[in-house]
Amino acid sequence: MLSPDLNFPFLSHIRIRTCNIFPTAQALLSQLTTVELRFLSSFELHLAEFSCVLHQMRCLQHLSITLEGCLHPSLHVRRLSAPDFRSVPINTLSLIIKDMTRGDVARAMFNALSFLRPSHCTLSLDNLVVNDPLEFFWDGVHADPLVLFPYGLSITVTVYHTVTNGWDPGFDLLAALANSCDIVEEIYIQAPGSAVLGFAAYSDNLVKHYPAFIQLRYCDHLSEDALEKLMKNFLFGEGTGLQSLEIISCVGISVRLLERLHEKFGARFYYRS
């Protein structure tokens, strides 16, 4: 077990594999630049305490968190002393949610991290049952307008071995990410076997919000109709909206269509079947 008051004057990187107690020595926290934490199912998440500890990591640049089988309801995150929403810049933020972790635990963690403003954000979902499309993307607080958790200049979302019970066919992950993140320049999505992609939410007002680059890899539920709609409606002009698209190993897209799109759009459309 990690002592909460340990102090190492030259320590900058800390990795805690089974996290249920946090170091509280302010001198230590203020010098950390890289932190990796793993929360397991056997512990109740004390996210109010965790959030306060994060606030003291003033040099933090790289944060990686894994929620592994976390089923216990989290304590409410107190916001009274928290920095403003998305006001603290860091370089990378990675959150892995796996092994039947509950949606309310994920939302509480989103809130605990909401003061961070990462340049590169990765959200990985693995071995989950999702009853609502927003269950593992929305913080449960910011609804008007809708604000999703992944935020940054570069956003990566991976979805593996996840059952989407009752998935809303009108939910468009790409559109939701583009609308909720005003600084995003690149979006990467990997979703083998998971129906997280749709284009039902398309509107003329959305075009200008799309990032310049999108990569869709192993998106098995991406259809040819959806891809053609994306190309027709979003790939246009110079310096506005989507400028470059990569389609990699998406089983629902034929080589014939990929070749035709590449012939039409050239280097702006890359594919690998």
Q: Rounded CA gap, 262 and 15, in Å?
A: 44
| pLDDT at res. 63 | 95
Per-run averaged pLDDT (10 residues), the chain, 273 residues: 48 58 66 87 71 87 92 58 85 96 89 92 92 82 78 94 69 81 92 70 59 91 85 66 90 95 92 91
Q: What angle do CA 89, 213, 208 make, to 5 degrees?
A: 85
In the block, residue with structure tokens 């192993």: 218
Q: Rounded CA gap, 42 and 20, in Å?
A: 9
In this structure, are residues 43 and 72 in contact, taking their beta carbons and an 8 Å threshold?
A: yes
Task: Please state, as a whole number, how many other Cβ atoms lie within 10 Å of the Cβ of residue 160.
Answer: 16
42-55 CB burial, b ≥16 within 10 A, e <16: eeebbbbbbbbbbb
| pLDDT at res. 186 | 94
In this structure, are residues 257 and 226 in contact, taking their beta carbons and an 8 Å threshold?
A: no
Residue 188 Cα to chain centre, angstroms: 10
pTM of the model: 0.87
| pLDDT at res. 147 | 82
Nearest to 94 by CA among 74, 121, 117, 71: 121
DSSP assigned state of 2? -
Task: Please state, as a whole number, how many other Cβ atoms lie within 10 Å of the Cβ of residue 15.
Answer: 11
Sort residue 50 into left (φ over 0), alpha (ψ -120 to 50) or beta. alpha
Q: Give the residues across from 139 on adjacent strands.
A: none
Task: Please state, as a whole number, how many other Cβ atoms lie within 10 Å of the Cβ of residue 236.
Answer: 12
Q: Is the torsion defined by CA of 226, 229, 234, 236 positive or negative? A: positive
| pLDDT at res. 185 | 92
